[in-house]
Amino acid sequence: MSARDESMVVPRGRRSRGHISWGLRLMVIIFHPMADLLFRREVWHGERIPASGPVIIVANHISIADPVSFARGVWDAGRIPQFLAKNTLYRGVFGVILRSAGQIPVYRATSAAPDSLRAAEAALERGEVVCIYPEGTVTRDPDWWPMVARNGVARLVLSVDAPVIPVGQWGPQLTHDYSTKKWSVFPRNQTISNVGNAVDLSAYRGRPVTGELLQEITDKIMVSVRHQLAEIRQEPPPADFYRDARTGADE
């Protein structure tokens, strides 16, 4: 077994996740096998996800299909993923299931927007795992590199002292291409999630919170995410993050 293969093995002792709600149980029943039906999955360095305690996991968003492989990788590392996701997903029966599963709705540009941050803070204070796509939507970069990110992740980093784990994702865009809206599920496409070491953000704590500070933190995190992606792709990343006029970043 190669060093990389060994990095994909998750020790059985790490699989104690605590209480599992009915909504989470239902989602596992649905999405756990779906991940294997859709993808030939690899997770590099899954052991870098802490086995316990609060964790913020940050990833690039490359396809509407990638949360399936992302969540499965976190689950296989012995943790329960809690995603910050657009509030439009929380409608009807599916919304009830998501809430029972502990997922966190994001209300952008409304008076309820701070509720998402408070819910994420509370989850971390309980020692749970919060998963974030700082880009806020699937990348519009024509070469699939990360876009300019929103700064909500920086606000969360400053509010709760928790390790920030960067993850680069590659492959789900072959299953669903956001630009063409086309699915390609047969044969299964290979997906790789590359888990990085925790980002050292200690230098930013205790400083006055300004727009510049939030941007510095956000950029440092996304540079690390981009580095994990570059390792998968075996090619140098662009010098700057793609900026799309339709998405932009939070100020």
Q: Contact 174/184 with Cβ under 8 angstroms?
A: yes
pLDDT-based confidence at residue 18 (cuts at 50, 70, 90)? low
What is the number of helices (H) and of strands (E) in the chain?
8, 9
Residue linked to tokens 């790490």: 14
Q: Is 206 exposed, middle or buried (0-12, 13-18, 19+ CB in 10 A)?
A: exposed
Q: Is the pLDDT of residue 217 over 50?
A: yes
64 belongs to a structural domain: yes
Q: Is the pLDDT of residue 81 over 80?
A: yes
Provide mean pLDDT across the span 51-64: 97
Residue with the bigger pLDDT between 87 and 129: it is 129
What's the average model confidence in pLDDT over 209-216? 95
Average model confidence (pLDDT) for the chain? 88
- The CA–CA distances, whole Å, from 117 to 113, 122, 179, 248 equal 8, 9, 30, 19
Neighbour count for residue 78 (Cβ, 10 Å): 20
Report the C-alpha dihedral over residues 81, 31, 35, 227, rounded to 10 degrees: -20
Residue 191 is predicted with a pLDDT of: 97
Give the pLDDT confidence score for residue 16 in this predicted structure.
54
Work out the average pLDDT over 10-39. 78
Give the torsion sign (CA, 115, 125, 95, 138): positive
Local confidence band at 107 (pLDDT 50, 70, 90 cut-offs): confident
Residue 164, domain extent: 3-8+20-45+53-233
Against a cut of 0.95, is the pTM above it? no
Q: Of 40-54, 55-69, 84-98, 156-170, which gets the smallest average pLDDT?
A: 84-98
Looking at the domain assignment, is residue 119 inside a domain? yes
pLDDT tens digits, 117-135: 999 999 999 999 999 999 9
CA pair distance 128, 111, nearest whole angstrom? 26
What pLDDT is attached to residue 140? 95
pLDDT band at 109 (very low <50, low <70, confident <90, very high): low
30 assigned to some structural domain: yes
* Residue 238, preceding peptide bond in cis (omega within 30° of 0): no
| Residue 68 within a domain | yes
Token digits for 169? 């994702």
Report how many domains make up the chain.
1
pLDDT of residue 251: 34
CATH number of the domain within which 72 lies = 3.40.1130.10
Residues present in the chain in total: 251
> pLDDT tens for residues 149-202?
999 999 999 999 999 999 999 999 999 999 999 999 999 999 999 999 999 999
Q: Is residue 37 part of a domain?
A: yes
Is the pLDDT at 232 greater than 90, yes or no?
yes
- Higher model confidence: residue 93 or residue 58? 58
3-state DSSP assignment of residue 232: helix
Provide the residue type at 246 as one letter. R
